[in-house]
Amino acid sequence: MSPPTAPTGSTRLNPVSEDGGVEEDDKNTMRLVEGISHPSRAEDVQDLHRLQKSSTKPRQDDAGQVASLSETLRSSARTVGPKVVRGEQGKNVPIAKKLESQRTGFMAAMSDSGLKPTVVYHNLTPAELYEKALQHEPGTSITSAGALATLSGAKTGRSPRDKRVVREPNSENDIWWNQEKNGSPNFEMDERTFLLNRERAVDYLNMLDRLYVFDGYAGWDPEARIKIRVVCARAYHALFMYNMLIRPTDQELLNFGQPDFTILNAGAFPVNRYTSYMSSSTSVDVSLKAKEMVILGTQYAGEMKKGIFTVMHYLMPKRGILSLHSGCNVGKNDDVTLFFGLSGTGKTTLSTDKARPLIGDDEHCWGDNGVFNIEGGCYAKCINLKRQNEPEIWGAIKFGTVLENVVFDENTREVDFDNNAVTENTRASYPIHYIDNARIPCVGPHPKNLILLCCDAFGVLPPVSKLTKEQAMYHFISGYTAKVAGTEQGITEPEATFSACFGGAFLLWHPMKYASMLAEKMDQHGTNAWLVNTGWTGGRYGVGSRFKLKHTRSIINAIHSGELNQAEYNSTPIFDLRVPTSISEVPVSMLNPEAQWSDKQEFQDTLRHLAELYTSNFGKYASGGGFVSKDLAERIVTAGPHLLQNGSK
């Protein structure tokens, strides 16, 4: 007799004995797995992919929004923009059927001929932008931390000599135009040349198979914010601006309407070198009349961020709001501090404080209601980034963050932040809420303290000094720090660097305009100003040593606690800076720079040399530019270093 077979639809797991029973040893382990049928709910693979994605908040695009996008993509030589419809390119499905069955986060813009549709992805989420970048942009990867690592092409930094501002009647008398050795960053171009570059950019963008549009805001104060539209060819650029602008709610996006300012980023396409005013294959053009910025010949994302900042530097002062290149945090008593400083001064490190929520790390405005951040994110340098030194920035590098031009292990995808093989200017862009103690909304009351940071590599300035209003204006306009050997090729000795208002590359008005507004607001709100040196003591770079970070933090804490408002002060030679005689947890000997030098004559010579550099630089601004009275201009100059003809004080 044959042994029985297992029932149909089940799997035999244990042996069956000759008499049809289960062998004794296996009685306790016998199991039958029933075959269960799970019929597919999809008709085909395409339908299966459709079922995979649900939409609790389907995107909505009304007729006004569609028309607005069409107008943005209109070239200057044509009277109407391209036809814009919803849908996806390349599928033989009527548009009406697509609208019935698909959640669409994109729009298809038809070229003028109507034969070549171009997909325009509008305000996609980070996850969607990751997918597009990985699909279409070589050199894009996901790091082990979840960030999107990408490359900006040949340009790994801004191109300030290629920036142009259109000279036109409505604004030309406001702009601080570049003239020989006046320090202005504003090189002019005419309206016709701007239109030529715009036409080139728009035609290039309309040729592409896909575009990305992001609509967002600049400015956290609802009364002062402006609507920004970014049109670009790379998902990386769209994600970057998703991080850096203030992201609209669904309702705000639906009601967005026409933007107040538009960036047309055709950075992968070069400028025509034979066009007037061009100095290279790169051009970054701003037209205040057209309310547009055109980018050609550079894919560096920072051009967009700083382009918006430049525009805010023009628009906000016209409204009586002071725009500032600064970090900002707030204490438990709602006391706000603004931190000014060039690269290497410690602005990011010192403004990021666990005990004081961060309002912003780089761009702010000071208006009638207090301060507000311009941006919705941070753009941090990450060369030599260490978790123990900057834990907040380290923790912000995760899914949604853009890592620009970093080097990573090709197998593990772990980033080597010490590696500068691509550039020294590696960057991380992330939304501000990625910082654990960020203050959202990013607004605060009027500042109680202004901290002007410098890194004096000559080793002659004190670690902290309290400034008069005129001294604050002088040092704000000067924007001093020093480069040291190793920071740039060819630098072997300390080299003074001055950047007006600590952000000279982004100013449109004369520096005195911003300084006079700063002084007025300091007077109105009783704000204190401090010059803090994070550089060297006991000798210049290579001889002395840099101030310890713990001592600088103690100085900042003494400012915030009010200790330095009660301190006694001595004055320094030549610069006439008021230095406290003592500070908690700071060695008294550190407060007197001259006492730290073994060669007193060398100290005096170095101090005079730095004073001469200050005086020479400030000569560009001494007239006041018509923004302050002659009397105040003279008082500001007098607040600087005092040198007699023989070089002594």
CA distance 216 to 237: 14
Confidence of residue 207 (pLDDT cuts 50, 70, 90): confident
pLDDT in tens, 418-467: 999 999 999 999 999 999 999 999 999 999 999 999 999 999 999 999 99
497 neighbors 480 (Cβ within 8 angstroms):
yes
pLDDT at position 101 over 90: no
Please state, in angstroms and rounded to a whole number, the distance separating the CA atoms of residues 495 and 487: 11
The pLDDT score that the predictor gives to residue 166 is 98
Instruction: From residue 188, give the alpha-carbon distance in Å to each of 100, 166, 167, 168, 316.
Output: 51, 6, 6, 10, 21
pLDDT digits 0-9 by tens, 470-481: 999 999 999 999
364 Cβ partners below 8 Å, 6+ apart? 323, 324, 326, 328, 338, 371, 372, 373, 374
Shortest CA distance to 358 belongs to which of 444, 427, 429?
A: 444
CA dihedral 169, 174, 180, 183 (to 10 degrees): -150
Integer CA distances (angstroms), 206 to 86, 266, 271, in order: 16, 10, 16
Query: pLDDT digit string (tens) for 546-560?
Result: 999 999 999 999 999
Task: Kindly state the DSSP code that residue 173 receives in the 8-state scheme.
Answer: T
Task: Between 192 and 43, name the one with better pLDDT.
Answer: 192
The pTM of the full predicted model, rounded to 2 decimals, is 0.87
Residue 519 has pLDDT above 90, yes or no: yes
Torsion of CA 273, 159, 202, 131, to 10 degrees: 130
Residue 406: half-sphere exposure toward Cβ, Cα within 13 Å: 30
Mean pLDDT of 558-575: 97
Q: With bands split at pLDDT 50, 70 and 90, how would you rate the model's confidence at 102?
A: very low
Q: What is the DSSP string of 27-90?
A: TTT---EE------S-SSHHHHHHHH---SS-----HHHHHHHHHHT--TTSSS---EEES-TT
CA separation for the pair 537, 546 (Å, rounded): 6
Strands (E), 521-638: 528-533, 536-537, 545-546, 569-571, 578-580
Whether the Cβ atoms of residue 370 and residue 443 lie closer than 8 Å to each other: yes
Condensed to tens digits (0 to 9), the pLDDT of residues 342-390 reads 988 989 889 988 899 999 999 999 999 999 999 999 999 999 999 998 8
* CB of 546 closer than 8 Å to CB of 535: yes
Mean pLDDT taken over the chain:
88
Residue-wise DSSP of 390-443: -HHHHHH-STTPEEES-EE-TTT--EETT--SS-S--EEEEEGGGSTTB-SS-E
Residues labelled catalytic: 158, 306, 325, 343, 347-348, 362, 427
Beta carbons within 10 angstroms of residue 60's beta carbon: 10
Tens digit of each residue's pLDDT (9 = 90 or more) over 50-84: 778 776 665 665 677 777 877 888 876 666 666 65
Q: Is 471 in contact with 569 (CB distance < 8 Å)?
A: no
If you average pLDDT over residues 410-416, what whole number do you get?
97
